[in-house]
Structure 1
Amino acid sequence: MRTQQFEDLVTRARSLAEAGDGGASRRVLGLAGPPGAGKSTLAARLVDRLGGLAALVPMDGFHLARAELERLGRTDRKGAPDTFDAAGYAALLARLRAPEPGTTVYAPAFDRSLEEPVAGSVPVGPAVPLVVTEGNYLLHDEGAWARVRPLLDEVWYLDLDDRLRVPRLVERHVRFGKDPVRAEEWVRVSDEANARLVARGRDRADLVVAVDRMR
């Protein structure tokens, strides 16, 4: 199933929020897709439109810290599935699905200016009925990532033409500090390898969103 209209997505997300009572249970909506597809942008727009009905919890908060990537010898592969704490992410999603009365859950975020995760950055109050989470590997089915999909009530896959997505991704890397040549090389060698892996989960999504046609 495909949709392009932002208002249609708001209506669908609102229905999920209304199905969660913010007490004994909470709904979780996932936005998946390759790097540069617009996941964080759409997630933020949805949460903004839903007001207090939704909170945004990004998967990128579970990036391993630079020091740990260096210890593991994975700094040149940052963004690959094994450069995240997938088990920790799944554990947080499980906790978010079953809120404790009177308890705020604090989730990590990712600071692109620092290129580091920052703990305790995102508060999710007990009465919030919907969590929107976004990231590359929500539909990935290997290792601890396989625990993620069953914890999501819906997953939408964001589909953006590579002719738009790749230049956007290069520009983002430049904006956050890489020189243009290094940015293009990183996208070609690292990000696009990850994009091919992410695309394998496309058919497991509940909805495919054509980002370039969305208004």
Structure 2
Amino acid sequence: MPPNTDEDGPTPADTLVERVHDLAAGGPRVVLGIAGCPGAGKSTLAHWLADRLTATGLPAVWVPMDGFHLADVELERLGRRHRKGAPDTFDARGYLALLRRLHTETGTVVYAPSFDRDLEQPLAGAIPVPPEARVVVSEGNYLLLPQDPWPLVRAAMTEVWYADLDDRVRLDRLVRRHIRFGKAPEAADRWVAEVDELNAAAIRATRHTADLVLDTAALPLTPR
């Protein structure tokens, strides 16, 4: 796949696309993971990359890990609603089962769940992954965690990249996102400080284990 070229040569974005083309060359379906702290631009990067790969002749689908959030009714039952987004508020083994299906069930459509930010709830069967999809791009906070079952999740992925972003930009973006989806400013600040940043500390500690570390500010991304 020839990259876009100009006087300055390939851009960082071109290099990423070319890397995935190389991973997919003549082999099985690629399942690419993107990890990173809340607000670092994981979903924006995953969505952009899937679109860019498809445009360059490598059909790709974005499948977010957020579709495996436990529903609020279950979080209430478990007493975890106040820290929604922590590792144990996801159906990690359900996510693992889907990743394994995406590797093996390549002759039929596999349906994956999505996450509706307006409802703040997962939606079952919302994302079709057709047989012709050569790449699945999936993003989530905890893809590199060492605690069970996350190492199995990583093993089900071809590579895992880490999306990095300056904390000042990331935290401002995160607070604004919480406000946009219904939290009062004070509640958004408190949630980021007391929930998101506790999770971010564990995620940040896994950064060095990624196959590739990316500064999302250096890519042509429009925050979602």
For 1:186 and 1:66, how far apart are their aligned partners in 2? 16
SS in 2 for 1:131: strand
Q: CA RMSD in A?
A: 1.3
1:213: how far off? 2.8
**Counterpart of 2:142 in structure 1: which amino acid?**
Y
Equivalent positions of 1:90-169 (< 5 A) are 90-101=96-107, 103-169=108-174
For 2:182 and 2:75, how far apart are their aligned partners in 1? 19
**Counterpart of 2:125 in structure 1: which amino acid?**
G
More displaced stretch, 32-41 vs 49-58: 49-58
For 1:133 and 1:209, how far apart are their aligned partners in 2? 15
More displaced stretch, 44-53 vs 157-166: 44-53
Q: Which residues of structure 1 form unaligned runs of 5+? A: none
Task: Report what 1:36 is aligned to.
Answer: 39
Equivalent positions of 1:1-215 (< 5 A) are 5-20=12-27, 25-51=28-54, 53-101=59-107, 103-215=108-220
For 1:200 and 1:155, how far apart are their aligned partners in 2? 15
For 2:26 and 2:144, how far apart are their aligned partners in 1? 23
SS in 2 for 1:136: coil
SS in 1 for 2:151: helix
**Counterpart of 1:57 in structure 2: which amino acid?**
V
1:100: how far off? 4.1
SS in 2 for 1:158: strand
For 2:26 and 2:194, how far apart are their aligned partners in 1? 42
SS in 1 for 2:96: helix
Post-superposition CA distance 1:49-82 (Å, at most 9, x none): 1116111110000000000000000001100000
TM-score, reference length from structure 1: 0.92
Q: Does structure 1 conserve the Cα–Cα contact (< 8 Å) formed by 2:45 and 2:216?
A: no
More displaced stretch, 141-150 vs 186-195: 141-150
For 1:150 and 1:124, how far apart are their aligned partners in 2? 20
Q: Which has the higher contact order (CA 8 A, sep 6+)?
A: 1
Q: Which residues of structure 2 form unaligned runs of 5+? A: 1-10
Q: Does structure 2 conserve the Cα–Cα contact (< 8 Å) formed by 1:16 and 1:130?
A: no
Percentage identity across paired residues of the two chains: 57
**Counterpart of 1:145 in structure 2: which amino acid?**
W
For 2:209 and 2:153, how far apart are their aligned partners in 1? 12
1:19: how far off? 4.2
Post-superposition CA distance 1:145-169 (Å, at most 9, x none): 2210111111110110101100000
**Counterpart of 1:90 in structure 2: which amino acid?**
L
**Counterpart of 1:37 in structure 2: which amino acid?**
A
For 2:125 and 2:24, how far apart are their aligned partners in 1? 24
Q: Does structure 2 conserve the Cα–Cα contact (< 8 Å) formed by 1:6 and 1:214?
A: yes
Q: Does structure 2 conserve the Cα–Cα contact (< 8 Å) formed by 1:26 and 1:99?
A: no
